[in-house]
Amino acid sequence: MSKTLILALSALGVAALPAALPYSDAQAAIRCKDGFQLSGGGWISTPYCNDAHLAQIARRHGARVSDAEIRENPNKKYEVCRFLSGTPTARDYCPDEGGDNHSGH
């Protein structure tokens, strides 16, 4: 490889790094507990944390699903909700028959 090509690839890698950092920092800054997000010193129900909690409940029942799969794929969320049907804690985080989400307890 030529020195110019190596320098160009290195520069691209360094240039792309800041673009990746805000997403990582934002993800790390979100703190969830039982479907609620820490915000301004208090806990509020948010879709992000609701989905993370639903994934956690599903994993406890043996499902192999990530938080991101629940957030990013509505069909996966419906599949998990069908799997967990009858589970009282999951019911609060699953879409009802009308398609609306409950926003926590």
Q: Which two tokens stand for residue 45?
A: 């129900």
Whole-model pTM?
0.65
The pLDDT tens digits of the residues spanning 51-91 come to 999 999 999 999 999 999 999 999 999 999 999 998 898 88
Q: How do the domains of the chain map onto residue ranges? A: 1-30, 31-105
| pLDDT at residue 82 in the model | 95
| pLDDT at residue 99 in the model | 45
The pLDDT tens digits of the residues spanning 12-60 come to 454 444 454 455 555 568 999 999 999 999 999 999 999 999 999 999 9
State which amino acid sits at residue 4: T
DSSP annotation of 30: -
Cβ-contact 80, 63 below 8 angstroms: yes
Summary mean pLDDT of the chain: 78
Provide the sign of the torsion angle of the four alpha carbons 39, 42, 44, 50, taken in this order.
Answer: positive
| pLDDT at residue 45 in the model | 95
Taking phi first (over 0 means left), then psi (-120 to 50 degrees means alpha), and beta for anything else, what does residue 39 get?
Answer: beta
